[in-house]
Amino acid sequence: MVESANLAPGLLLAMPQLSDPNFSRAVVLMIEHSTQGSFGLVINHPSPIKASELLDSLEMSWHGEDSAVVWAGGPVSPSTGWVLHEPVVLAPPGQGTIAITSSISLSTSPDRLRAIAVSPPRNIRLLLGYSGWGAGQLEAEMSRGAWLHASADPDLVFDTPAHDIWDSAMRSLGISPESLFAARGVN
């Protein structure tokens, strides 16, 4: 089993027996994990909302791909916005962006979103909502086999089609997704 201190940054892969529909074949980029709780963003559940529609509603301009969508980061606070992106130099410099890994950053402020939306980097993902666990909750779910842990690979986060992320992440662990099935045990 993975040391719980090493869960973030990393990816959590939902196993088939995890019955919560919010996490069906979910891949969660773990941002923070401590004894007080955990925070992450689902990276493979696109929403029907276009990035341009979201930014228009916030009176901001989107200068990225017309086809860009907003992603469902999780069931907690679904109106809270997050921006995953490759590291960028933003003017003016300031707070509101943290490095998750050397190639994945997270911006959280409206000013950062506005600056990024004007000239979006190639690797970007706008998300609404997040995934959160209380103290000990994630460890308990992992001990029941609900999640597997993998490294936070920027290719999975940004370059793999959404419908392939879970399979690709499983294969990165040497697991054939076709061999997995939901097991409930003997009743």
Query: Whole-model pTM above 0.75?
Result: yes
Q: Which CATH number is associated with domain 4-179?
A: 3.40.1740.10
Q: Is there a contact between 97 and 90 (Cβ–Cβ < 8 Å)?
A: yes
- The structure tokens listed for 5 are 């201190």
**CB-based contacts of 108, cutoff 8 Å, min separation 6:** 82, 83, 96, 97, 98
Q: What is the Cα gyration radius of the chain?
A: 17
Summarize the confidence of residues 50-75 as an average pLDDT.
95
pLDDT at residue 179, as a whole number: 78
pLDDT per residue over 113-126, tens digit each?
A: 999 999 999 999 99
Distance separating alpha carbons of residues 104 and 125, to the nearest angstrom? 10
